[in-house]
Structure 1
Amino acid sequence: MTALVAEGVFGRCVPPESKYAITTNLRGWDNAVKLRERDKGVMSQIVHIYPRFGPFQDVKLLFGALAGKLQLAEGLSLLAFTDPGVFQMIAKHVTSPHRREPIFSLEELQLHVVDVAGIRLYVVAFPAAKTSGVIGAWMNPGIGLSIRLSEYLLSQIDTFTLVKSVSITEAPPQGTFLPETADHAKLRERISGLLHRASVDPEKIRVTPDDIYLYPTGMAAIYTTHSQLVAHRPGTVIILGITFPSTIQLLFETSPHGYKHFGPVDSAGLDVFESWLWEEAAQGRDVTYVLVEFPSNPLLASIDLRRIQALSHKFGFFFVIDETVGSFANIDILPYCDLIVTSLAKTFSGYANVMGGSAALNPLAPRYGELRQLWDTHFHNEVFRGDAAVLLANSDSYLERTAVHNTNAGTMAAYLAARTRDLDPSSPILRVRYPTQMRDYNFFESFLRRPTEELPEPGSGCLLTVDFINTVAAKAFYEALQFYHGPHFGAPKTLVLCYVELVFNRNPEDAEYHRGYGLLRESVRISAGLEEAGDLVKTLEVALEAARKVASS
């Protein structure tokens, strides 16, 4: 066993180097805080990062070229999309009462429809000084242009044509969206096949490739699902447990009939939720849908899906599960909801060099006919052919990589769980969060797929979280830990991130609220990679010793 050493350049991707990389080498707790605050010193060093965080590399270059073609005045920036609905979406975003600063007026937006290489783009120009007030419309819905699409459009920029400049009250020209290829069809077939593979009960799986819908990101799958469901069945939108903060912000701001969050998802927490449902029903108020992550990131809680499904049938709401963390290589949960959404950029792709998402409808759900008609009516492809090709090629090794991720994460979780404070009073570790270490593991375990030759031991996925006794110990562990620091999970390299500090600690009131059900600042999230398990444990030993020293001082 050899302790690892994380090498690389700050702001560039985790090795191997790639212009399409979606990771960033963000070493240091304080640098994560600076990234959260969009510190200019840190931001200026960022070359690679998760594309939803903002326009970088070829996306940024394309936007510069479009600005030149449009002859935008100095001091203006722009964002471009393939969906004509973004004009109204951005107008609502920038004028939302939830925007703290800067304040926008609609007159400050310029809306242009352009064609490049036969692909129609919807361009929103705005004062660069007010970027912070608009960038959420790029980050949260996840429907921005991909790196590969931007690279292609940049190479074809000489075909630029201004179709029309419009006002916010005008309906823009129809979109061309993006053509589908054989790779799109093969991706749908692969996902459908994986949902059938080693099912707990094959009679409960009837999904076909036609029930699979592809999106440019996992957040785009959530955004589209949300938009379609709230229009179809007006009512309150519910999140149970924790989800990605972009999901929370998106649903909070774009649920016209209300949004509500329930943090605790144990039996007592679901009792509270059920009581609330009865109260709402008595007042004649509907719930549109309930969204859960299974298990949740970063708490790794496994909710009682069967109980939520029973409530959905009783009260008429749709039930949506984000199974990205558990991964449909490991778990078989489609029969227990109306649809699942997935970020294909994580373990499905596995090489941290492409974005993608999917939604899969459950043909055996009571209201499948409604949903299928809804999706078929409104769906348009926005996945670029180059991204579809990479997703397909990368996912060839999905099951093989999943086996390694399961082993490595499980090994690290077991090692750390054997050294928690309840077993060793001198330990800086308060608890380890990984499905096998959680009290609700019985729920997770009941959905594990059957063992097969391709995946002999379905497991609990690549993600774990370590809670420490205080922030000093957590920081000492983090700074000493020679895994790559930065966002993302499901990559070839093991990644670590002070996740709660980065994404939930900007607003003190929000941080205190989420802390109330277990989301601790003094925690570190680890995404297992494909290294040797023994080397990972040795690397943890070194960091744990550093945390012990400060805990005992």
Structure 2
Amino acid sequence: MGDTGQIADPWMPPKTPQALPLGKPNIYPLGERHGVSVSLPTWDSVIGLSRKEDWVLDHLECSYPRFYINKPVRDLSAAVLQRAIASESNTRCLVFASADAAHKCLAALRASTTSAEDEDLALLESTRFFMPPESARDATACHWANFSAVLFPFSLWKKAMAFWRDTGSGLSTRHAEFCLGELDYLDCDSADPALRSPAPLKRCHRRTPQTLASVQTAAAGMPKLKSILAKLATSDQPSEPVVHPDDVFLYPTGMNAIFSLSECLCSITPDSTVVAFGWLYPETIEVLRGGAWKKCLSYKYGTEKELDQLENVLQSGKQIEALFCELPSNILLSSPDLRRIRALADKFGFIVACDDTVAGFVNLDAIACVDVMVSSLTKTFSGASNVTGGRSVFSPTIIDIRTLTSPSLVVNPGSPYRNTIRAALSSKYEETYFPLDILALIDNCKNVVWRVRQCNENTLPLVDLLSSHRSIATVHHPSTAPTSSLYQSLQRKNGGYGNVLSIIFHRPASAEHFYNILDVCKGSSFGTNFTLVIPYVQLANYWKREKVPKYGVPQHIIRMSVGLEDSDQLVATVARALKEVEEFESQNTA
């Protein structure tokens, strides 16, 4: 994981960026499997995906796994349905590594079912596929073939996908491929006797299949990955304690980390209140509002004025249990006053949870200001756009009984609530991060420090170019934001400002034209090794697009994640697109 010099690897994008055709995976090398971003080369194609229009969906070879069921997962689901209820064409299913996640999905669907749908309730059930002892003998990796499926009528598809999206608990594509290969060796159990079935085949134990051997070997990578993350997370300040690998808690996706953390925190104190501070990722808000919190207080602007308002609320006697924020925020790239938030947390006794995905530990040294740092490993940490992952790193600094950290979180050993807190946390944790995904992350992150710093350097010339163009009203970036001093106060010694920026054109039509003709990869996600652009609201907030402009997020805002291509080529590519915008505007003067 060296930080000097470029390491020659096949994932390096071409020096000159280039857009890919509709539906192709945004991934290098081209043709690699397990892509987590799909090419959406035109503004209309982004809207078409948001609206689930066939002309877009029919071209998709993959998409972001929390929003789309990719082919390996579809294949496993189809095999489950064929085995369970081959004659029922109206039934769909979703697959989960965790039986608990499947039960929660089933409960959510049952709770949401209206009286008009009662006739479909017979189709609503879960099943658990598991390796029987006679086939699992001598193969310790066999338990990774175990998974759960939730069967439901097609009328509940939208509600089921909302659970899949917001919890991030579905099977990954690598995990689904493995389970599909083992399916014939799995027994099936269910509360519905009609869905129970023995495994069609029994395994021969003369030799361990290569697939099982690979998973078994990869399973040893978890400690290594946690050690890498712990080293990255440790503060530069010698007075701060070293982050231990046991302070790192891994999840299959970044959203699953946020979902699991929210569930753990709100279980500590029933009927508790959580604060969402600043402009947070939409699904984070959905998780907080849809969880067991009694109330979610939202301060969407994330300004000093709103911190004053929060402080007044706390001084009035209102108790909150946790505050969630982002540093910097995804799309506006503004930074909260994390030191002041820490001071309020110390004074009024609440947990600070921060998502640092946009900039990350290579750039920021903020662990001492929070109780838990959450991040998506799918983004810059991986960079290769071929694996999902998330992690929570819990600050080893203990402030009070609510400052949690230890095997995955460490709880203050002197707290009278120590056993209660540990029991609440341990009862909810399952190790569901598939070993082959861990192996992919370890391989991808080898030169994360070099990649982050190179992307930092590539971004600044683009910020300058875009900021100086007359067609553009605003460029959001931590280096130029009004909150830049707050960001700088938490930068590492050699940290930069990150590779994500957002662009607001004066004219919405110019933004659309710029996106359509810009010759770079376009689609969901960010933090990839290649430059990736998306009209953010049209994808992330499409169905609420009329409501978000009042928060400084206009419908035509464009997010750009800058990659590792040649800097001069990147600048030239963007400059050409801006030149075409000038010509477009001259021909379309009102």
* TM-superposed deviation, 1:467: 0.9
| C-alpha distance in 2 between matches for 1:431 and 1:109 | 49
Task: Report the counterpart of residue 436 of structure 2 in structure 1.
Answer: 386
1:17-41 Cα shifts (integer Å, max 9, x gaps): 2111111111111111111111122
| Runs of at least 5 residues in structure 2 that lack an aligned partner in the other structure | 1-13, 132-141, 194-214, 411-421
Q: Does 1:339 align with 2:377?
A: no
Task: Report the counterpart of residue 182 of structure 2 in structure 1.
Answer: 156
Q: Does 1:431 align with 2:474?
A: yes
Q: 1:165 to 1:9 in 2, by over 3 A?
A: farther
SS in 2 for 1:436: coil
* TM-superposed deviation, 1:233: 2.3
| C-alpha distance in 2 between matches for 1:103 and 1:356 | 36
* TM-superposed deviation, 1:126: 0.8
* TM-superposed deviation, 1:275: 2.3
* TM-superposed deviation, 1:101: 13
Please, which of 69, 73, 76 is the counterpart of residue 83 of structure 2?
69
* TM-superposed deviation, 1:91: 4.0
1:82-109 Cα shifts (integer Å, max 9, x gaps): 2222244224533567x99996875541
Task: Report the counterpart of residue 222 of structure 1 in structure 2.
Answer: 258
1:474-521 Cα shifts (integer Å, max 9, x gaps): 11111111111101111121011001122113135xx42x32221111
**Aligned pairs (5 A) from 1:1-16:** 4=16, 6-14=18-26, 15=28, 16=30
Q: Does 1:112 align with 2:127?
A: yes
Task: Report the counterpart of residue 525 of structure 1 in structure 2.
Answer: 559
| C-alpha distance in 2 between matches for 1:343 and 1:294 | 13
**Aligned pairs (5 A) from 1:92-111:** 92-94=107-109, 108-111=123-126
2:37 maps to amino acid: T
* TM-superposed deviation, 1:67: 1.1
| C-alpha distance in 2 between matches for 1:394 and 1:369 | 30
| Runs of at least 5 residues in structure 1 that lack an aligned partner in the other structure | 168-177, 420-426, 452-457
**Aligned pairs (5 A) from 1:510-521:** 511-512=546-547, 514-521=548-555
| C-alpha distance in 1 between matches for 2:296 and 2:110 | 19
| C-alpha distance in 2 between matches for 1:75 and 1:248 | 32
* TM-superposed deviation, 1:274: 2.1
Task: Report the counterpart of residue 211 of structure 2 in structure 1.
Answer: none
Task: Report the counterpart of residue 273 of structure 1 in structure 2.
Answer: 310
SS in 2 for 1:203: coil
SS in 2 for 1:506: helix
Contact 1:94–1:103, Cα closer than 8 Å, also in 2: no
SS in 2 for 1:346: coil
Taking structure 2 as the reference length, the TM-score comes to 0.83
| C-alpha distance in 2 between matches for 1:142 and 1:518 | 28
Q: 1:96 to 1:27 in 2, by over 3 A?
A: farther
Taking structure 1 as the reference length, the TM-score comes to 0.89
| C-alpha distance in 2 between matches for 1:384 and 1:66 | 20
Note the aligned Cα RMSD (angstroms).
Answer: 2.4
- List structure 1 runs of 4+ shifted beyond 6 angstroms: 99-105
Contact 1:113–1:165, Cα closer than 8 Å, also in 2: no
* TM-superposed deviation, 1:414: 1.8
1:201-230 Cα shifts (integer Å, max 9, x gaps): 122233200110111010111011001111
Contact 2:19–2:41, Cα closer than 8 Å, also in 1: no
Task: Report the counterpart of residue 455 of structure 1 in structure 2.
Answer: none
**Aligned pairs (5 A) from 1:159-174:** 159-165=185-191
Q: 1:293 to 1:96 in 2, by over 3 A?
A: farther
Give the percent of matched residue pairs that are identical in Structure 1 and Structure 2: 27
Q: 1:542 to 1:67 in 2, by over 3 A?
A: same
Contact 1:148–1:387, Cα closer than 8 Å, also in 2: yes
Contact 1:291–1:319, Cα closer than 8 Å, also in 2: yes
2:129 maps to amino acid: V
- Number of residue pairs the alignment of both structures matches: 519
Q: Does 1:123 align with 2:156?
A: no
SS in 2 for 1:134: helix
Task: Report the counterpart of residue 386 of structure 2 in structure 1.
Answer: 353
Task: Report the counterpart of residue 192 of structure 1 in structure 2.
Answer: 230
Task: Report the counterpart of residue 79 of structure 1 in structure 2.
Answer: 94
| C-alpha distance in 1 between matches for 2:484 and 2:243 | 27
SS in 1 for 2:460: helix
| C-alpha distance in 2 between matches for 1:436 and 1:220 | 30
Task: Report the counterpart of residue 260 of structure 1 in structure 2.
Answer: 297
* TM-superposed deviation, 1:7: 4.4
Which structure would you say has the larger Rg? 2
2:489 maps to amino acid: S
Contact 1:25–1:484, Cα closer than 8 Å, also in 2: yes
Q: Does 1:183 align with 2:197?
A: no
| C-alpha distance in 2 between matches for 1:103 and 1:52 | 26
1:110-139 Cα shifts (integer Å, max 9, x gaps): 121221553332211111243112111111
Q: Does 1:481 align with 2:518?
A: yes
**Aligned pairs (5 A) from 1:348-427:** 348-366=381-399, 367=401, 368=403, 371-372=409-410, 373=422, 374-419=424-469, 427=470
SS in 2 for 1:541: helix
Task: Report the counterpart of residue 35 of structure 1 in structure 2.
Answer: 49
Q: Does 1:314 align with 2:347?
A: yes
Task: Report the counterpart of residue 327 of structure 1 in structure 2.
Answer: 360
| C-alpha distance in 2 between matches for 1:29 and 1:100 | 36
| C-alpha distance in 1 between matches for 2:146 and 2:554 | 44
Q: Does 1:441 align with 2:484?
A: yes
Contact 2:352–2:371, Cα closer than 8 Å, also in 1: yes
SS in 2 for 1:342: strand
Q: 1:202 to 1:551 in 2, by over 3 A?
A: farther
